[in-house]
Amino acid sequence: MCYNLLSGEGNKQKGYTVLNIGLIAHDAKKKLMQNFCIAYRGILSKNDLYATDTTGRLIEEATNLTLHKCLAGHLGGEQQIGAQIESNALDLVIFLRDPESLRDHEQLSNRNLARLCDIHNIPLATNLATAELLIKSLDRGDMEWREMYK
């Protein structure tokens, strides 16, 4: 189930702080998200992963990672991820979006997620380059500052 909020104290795994990572991808970017998760499976596997339904299923099939799945994005999954952002339950969001084919409701949803991440100081990647920078910084331990916000 998607709404599995943690206590906010941060889990530790042999000196490694486990973070909650949200993963969302528009249809045209789902294969890219799968490939990203395959490439960084080792890092992602050390953290708790949350995704919209279809994206989550595709990631699980490609990587054998376990994810907490929300509803499909268009059925409210993006709003569920947004609620987790608003309650400070996510530490990092990777939202691979397709700016070429945004519909009006998707534009509003994108702005809302970006706004929530800005308000709550949660790193947000909306393209592959930024996603790779964030995941590599996570692996180096550069995301430990998130503990101060929990």
The angle formed by the CA atoms of residues 6, 11 and 16, to the nearest 5 degrees, is 145
Q: What share of the chain is helix, strand, coil (3-state, %, to 5)?
A: 55, 15, 30
CB 132 within 8 A of CB 102: no
Residue 71 is assigned to a structural domain of this protein: yes
Instruction: Find the domain containing 69 and state its range.
Output: 19-143
Distance separating alpha carbons of residues 110 and 122, to the nearest angstrom: 15
In a domain, 7, yes or no: no
The number of domains in the chain is 1
Mean pLDDT value across the chain:
85
93: in domain: yes
Convert the pLDDT of each residue in 5-34 to its tens digit.
Answer: 443 444 545 556 789 999 999 889 999 999
Model pTM score: 0.86
Instruction: Evaluate whether 49 touches 21 at the Cβ level (below 8 Å).
Output: yes
* CATH classification of the domain holding 30: 3.40.50.1380
